[in-house]
Amino acid sequence: MNNAPKRLFGTDGIRDKANSGALTVENVVRVAKAAGVLLRKRRGIFRERLGLRNPAGVVGGKFQPRRRTGHPMVIIGSDTRLSSPLIACALRSGLLAGGIDVFDAGVVGTPGLAYLSSALRFDLGIMISASHNPMGDNGIKFFSNQGLKISDVSELAVERLVLSGRLDRDEGPTDDRIGSAEEYGLGRQLYCRRVLQIAGDLRLTGMRIVLDCANGATYRAAPEIFAQLGASVHAVNAAPNGVNINRGCGALHPEEVAASVKRHAAHIGFAFDGDGDRVIVADETGVVRDGDYVLAIAARHMKKRGALTNNTVVTTVMANLGLERSLVAAGIRMRRTNVGDRLVVQEMLRGGFVLGGEQSGHIVFLKHSPTGDGLVTAVQLLKIMAREDSPLSALADCMTKFPQVLENVRVREKPPFNSVALIAKAVQHVKRRLGDSGRLLLRYSGTEPLARIMIEGPDAREINELAQMLRLVIERKIGAGA
């Protein structure tokens, strides 16, 4: 693996304030032109060679886009942010100037865009979204023709070309070699059809479901899918206006869907994030169940059915100790990676594992999707409930969470924590206090100017005190207001 540092790409593509920094119109055009040059001159650069089987196969017929000989094809999708059309126009311009044919799927979630990239065998898929971030942020994620986020090597190739200055000297193709642009209006229909295929014979007649769509990319797809499965659907935060995505709702605010479940006497509630690749669940009693619970429930069920390949679940360093103990008690192994669903998927592919995910709600059922998919996760959880003939609250009894504290500290810089003497001393103090009965995870966000503190242990009062002490030390030394 190439370990050279990246300057444009973070842990999840390129992300910044919309129309500034890495996401100015001029820079987005350069990124698109760089991708176009690489597609023309090194056509297979974005094709992952990991032997990942496409479970849905290649879709043809009316869904297949028009192809022009000799022109690479790119599909673009976006969430509902006000800035997404601006970035889409810049991407389209750069790609067309590079001789790339562009198909715009409009508003579609990240898992939907990943699926379209794979099912329709585009040379590259580009998703415009900042996921769970506030409305003012946005981002660009690249997907291979297997629906996987492109590799570090591919990201570095784009980045180096953007920063080299060579693009300004490349006039690009002319005449009929210039790229063409088309709207691809069948994207949501094709993706919904795929989720319904995964649902199979699941029928939700008589079931009341609350959906919090975060005013994001799932606002049409989620209600359509669950209504077609026969559920009585109550959708909230499903009226995006460009500025209300993720605002006090969705996966970052699951208390909203939990309250709605109790208010409407629903059987379950699902809270998606802005681009639909994660989901947090509320059971029928209104108790919030995060990704750790989903993994514990799904792992047990899949093992019982002989479907948990290599008897292993992949998750991240953020996973609660309760999940680890729950899996061990069931005779299931657990592997941890650093934070990021892309890293989880990479470990799953390396080890031949089929279930993985994050506490934050990114859950990957690799036989169905190569990326976190909130709608697929919801469908899979409902299938498990139906097969076990059990409500979610009873299934969730398989895991007891350790108390866990999460703190975010806004920082002005990101030096190594061990290079700041006072922070390093505070970290050692926390670790001594926790001993073998708890965990501290201190890291920087890959997409925001934040230091993230996670402490867990058996004593909620103690870990809260430790977290606040560490927070104050970080604020004092590198805090944005210091």
**Tell me: the pLDDT tens digits for 173-224?**
889 899 999 999 999 999 999 999 999 999 999 999 999 999 999 999 999 9
**Do residue 258 and residue 370 come from a single domain?**
yes
How much is the average pLDDT of 460-482?
94
Residue 220 lies in a domain: yes
Q: Are 125 and 74 in contact (CB under 8 A)?
A: yes
Q: Are 362 and 277 in contact (CB under 8 A)?
A: yes
Of the CA atoms within 13 Å of residue 268, those in its CB half-sphere come to 24
Choose one of 350, 368, 398: the last residue of a domain.
Answer: 398
Total domain count, the chain: 3
Q: How far apart are the C-alpha atoms of 255 and 368, rounded to whole Å?
A: 29
**Do residue 369 and residue 412 come from a single domain?**
no
Q: Are 131 and 139 in contact (CB under 8 A)?
A: yes
Residue 382 lies in a domain: yes
Q: What is the 3-class SS of 375-394, one letter each residue?
A: HHHHHHHHHHHHHHCCCHHH
Question: For residue 1, is pLDDT > 50?
Answer: no
What confidence score (pLDDT) does residue 56 get? 60
Residue 278 lies in a domain: yes
Q: How far apart are the C-alpha atoms of 115 and 267, rounded to whole Å?
A: 29
**Do residue 386 and residue 433 come from a single domain?**
no
Please name the amino acid found at residue 179: G
Choose one of 370, 398, 426: the last residue of a domain.
Answer: 398
Indicate the DSSP class of residue 49: -
Q: Which two tokens stand for residue 7?
A: 């300057």
Which has more confidence, 43 or 254? 254
Question: For residue 170, is pLDDT > 50?
Answer: yes
**Do residue 282 and residue 365 come from a single domain?**
yes
Residue 7 lies in a domain: no
**Strands, DSSP E only, in 181-226?**
181-183, 208-212
Kindly indicate the confidence band of residue 127, based on its pLDDT and cuts at 50, 70 and 90.
very high
Residue 1 lies in a domain: no
Query: Mean of the per-residue pLDDT values for the chain?
Result: 93
Residue with tokens 């209600």: 223
Helix (H) or strand (E) holding 234: strand 232-236
How much is the average pLDDT of 329-350?
94
- Could you tell me the sign of the dihedral formed by the alpha carbons of 33, 79, 56, 352, in that order? positive
Choose one of 398, 424, 451: the last residue of a domain.
Answer: 398
**Do residue 198 and residue 345 come from a single domain?**
yes
Query: Which residues have C-beta within 8 Å of that of residue 180, sequence separation ≥ 6?
Result: 68, 71, 96, 101, 102
Instruction: Output the domain CATH number for residue 420.
Output: 3.30.310.50
**Do residue 246 and residue 381 come from a single domain?**
yes
Torsion angles phi and psi, residue 23, rounded to 5:
-115, 25
What confidence score (pLDDT) does residue 184 get? 96
Residue with tokens 């939700």: 204
**Do residue 221 and residue 131 come from a single domain?**
no
Catalytic residue annotation: 131
The percentage of residues in the chain with a pLDDT greater than 70, rounded to a whole number, is 96
Kindly indicate the confidence band of residue 315, based on its pLDDT and cuts at 50, 70 and 90.
very high
Tens-digit pLDDT profile for residues 402-447:
999 999 999 999 999 999 999 999 999 999 999 988 899 999 987 7
What confidence score (pLDDT) does residue 51 get? 55
Instruction: Output the domain CATH number for residue 128.
Output: 3.40.120.10
Q: Are 4 and 68 in contact (CB under 8 A)?
A: no
**Do residue 322 and residue 471 come from a single domain?**
no
Question: For residue 44, is pLDDT > 90?
Answer: no
Residue 3 lies in a domain: no
How much is the average pLDDT of 115-128?
95
**Do residue 258 and residue 160 come from a single domain?**
no
Please name the amino acid found at residue 262: K
Region class of 164: left (phi > 0), else alpha (psi between -120 and 50), else beta: alpha
What confidence score (pLDDT) does residue 2 get? 46
Domain limits at 234? Answer: 191-398
**Do residue 79 and residue 52 come from a single domain?**
yes
**Do residue 302 and residue 346 come from a single domain?**
yes
Residue 5 lies in a domain: no
**Do residue 267 and residue 387 come from a single domain?**
yes
Residue 375 lies in a domain: yes
Q: How far apart are the C-alpha atoms of 187 and 129, rounded to whole Å?
A: 16
Which has more confidence, 447 or 372? 372
Q: Which two tokens stand for residue 334?
A: 């657990």
Q: Are 105 and 76 in contact (CB under 8 A)?
A: yes
How much is the average pLDDT of 315-334?
95
What confidence score (pLDDT) does residue 362 get? 97
pTM of this prediction? 0.90
